[in-house]
Amino acid sequence: MSLLRISDLRVSYPGPSGPVEVLHGLDLDVEAGARVALVGESGSGKSVAARAILRLDTDAALAGSIRLSGTELTGLPAKRLRAVRGSGAGLVFQDPLAALNPVRTIGWQIMQPLVIRGVRRSEARRRGIELLGRLGVRDAGHRFDDYPHEFSGGMRQRAVIAIAVIAEPKLLIADEPTTALDVRVQAQVLELLSGLADERHMAVLLITHDLGIVASFAESVVVLRHGRVVERGLTDDIYYRPAHPYTRGLLGAVPRIDADPSVRLATVPPGTAAADAGPGDDPGQPEMPGEKQNETESP
């Protein structure tokens, strides 16, 4: 049984004239210990999906099913949902500075998930320092009592990761964890996540628009566009044999160090059939503007 099974998830937000659906039936499976990447541009609905799993948006109306370790999360009463958050699944955000409370010490924030579960403060502190050190923060014992503005970007992200995993969740949802970081630090953070995942047999759902990092990290990939899945598969398959024109467009857009600089990066022009093609369409070559193609959009 999958650790996380999302079936036909639809998410709507209230709009000026009625609810607006932004995620149109997402199906997603994450096995225990697996690494899955959810990929898409801004606005594709990937962050919506991430927040929906833990029901973090009070505005959002959910339809469909989200099962974590067999427990159905949609419709779960608040008290039980809170138990799941943090110890069932943890969340890492994009901007570590915004994700950290500026008026509380890093240590206090790391200890909170344990404190609210009844762990004694001294014990929580010990485990927090240990975790922070494990994540590569030198002199963790002292830095534990620093404030977020006294940390560098990479260290802040480590703190955010510590907060997310300290209650030992089986699933880590990482929403653009490296976007706000330097390239060098990005690699470090990804390695950290990788190491953690291995140690704890923790599954990771990596949500990103950056196909470059997906390749080295995730085993399987789900591509999202305009709230719909347009392609899914093993990483290798997607990268070497992309089936959908949109995916091809995305891949072509990734700068490569060995590419011929005189060839322009591929883009997916908005409004072309390639961009709008539904998941079940005949792949073929990306369309040139002006040509028509069948647009059967699967529900």
Partner 1 sequence: MTGPGATSLTARLLGRPAPLTARAGSRRRSPVIERVAVAVVLFVVLIAIIGPWLAPQDPYLVNLPDSLQPPSMAHWFGTDVNGRDILSRVLTGARTTLSATFIVLAVTTAIGILIGTAAALAGRVADEILMRVCDVGLALPPIVLALGLAAALGPSLTSAVIAMIATWWPGYARLVRTVVTETRDAEFVEGARMLGVGRARLIFRHILPNSLNIMYVQVTLDVAAVMLVISGLSFVGVGAQVPSAEWGAMIAAAANNVQNGWWALLFPGLAIALTAVAFNIAGDWLRVRTDPTLRGR
Partner 2 sequence: MIIVFAGLVVVAFLLTHVLPGDPAQAAAGRNATADQVATVRASLGLNDPLIVQFARYARGLLHGDLGTSVFTHEPVMSDIGQVLPSSIELVIAAMVINIAVAVPLGVLSAYRQGRLADIAARLVVVLGAAVPVFWLALILQLVFADQLKILPLSGQLGFGYSVPHRTGIVTLDALLAGDPGAFFDAVSHLILPAVTLAAAFIAVITRTVRSSMLGVLEADYITLARATGASEWRVVIQHGLRNALLPTTTILGMQLGWMLGATVLVESTFNRTGIGAYMVTAVLQDDLYAVIGSILVIGVVFIVANFLVDLLQLWLNPRLRETGRTAAPSGAGDAGTDVPLELAR
- Stretch binding partner 1 (CB under 8 A), from 14-22, 73-81, 152-160, 225-233: 14-22
Alpha-carbon distances, residue 268 vs 250, 276, 293 (angstroms): 7, 10, 15
Helices (H), 116-232: 121-134, 140-143, 153-165, 183-200, 211-217
- Quick one: what does residue 234 bind among partner 1, partner 2, none, with the CB cut-off 5 to 8 Å set by partner type? none
Alpha-carbon distance of 173 to 203, in angstroms, equals 9
- Encoded one letter per residue, x for contact with partner 1 by CB under 8 A and - for no contact, window 39-78 reads --------------------x-------------------
CB of 231 to partner 2, least distance (A): 29
- Stretch binding partner 1 (CB under 8 A), from 8-16, 39-47, 175-183, 276-284: 8-16
Closest CA to 156 of 89, 92, 207: 92
Closer to partner 1 by Cβ: residue 59 or 282: 59
Alpha-carbon distance of 54 to 234, in angstroms, equals 25
Non-local CB neighbours of 59 within 8 Å, separated by 6+ positions: 13, 14
CB of 218 to partner 2, least distance (A): 21
- Stretch binding partner 1 (CB under 8 A), from 13-21, 197-205, 216-224, 232-240: 13-21
CB of 56 to partner 1, least distance (A): 13
Place of tokens 């961009």: 275
Alpha-carbon distance of 217 to 194, in angstroms, equals 7
Give the largest Cα separation in the chain, rounded.
67
Catalog residues that contact partner 2 under the rule CB under 8 A: 51, 54, 56, 82-87, 90-91, 93, 95, 97-104, 112-113, 116-117, 147, 149-150, 160, 163-164, 167
Contact 215, 35 (CB under 8 A): no
- Quick one: what does residue 1 bind among partner 1, partner 2, none, with the CB cut-off 5 to 8 Å set by partner type? none
Closer to partner 2 by Cβ: residue 179 or 293: 179
CB of 111 to partner 2, least distance (A): 10
Q: At what angle do helices 183-200 and 153-165 cross, to 10 degrees?
A: 20
Closer to partner 1 by Cβ: residue 16 or 255: 16
Contact set with partner 1 (CB under 8 A): 13-16, 20, 59
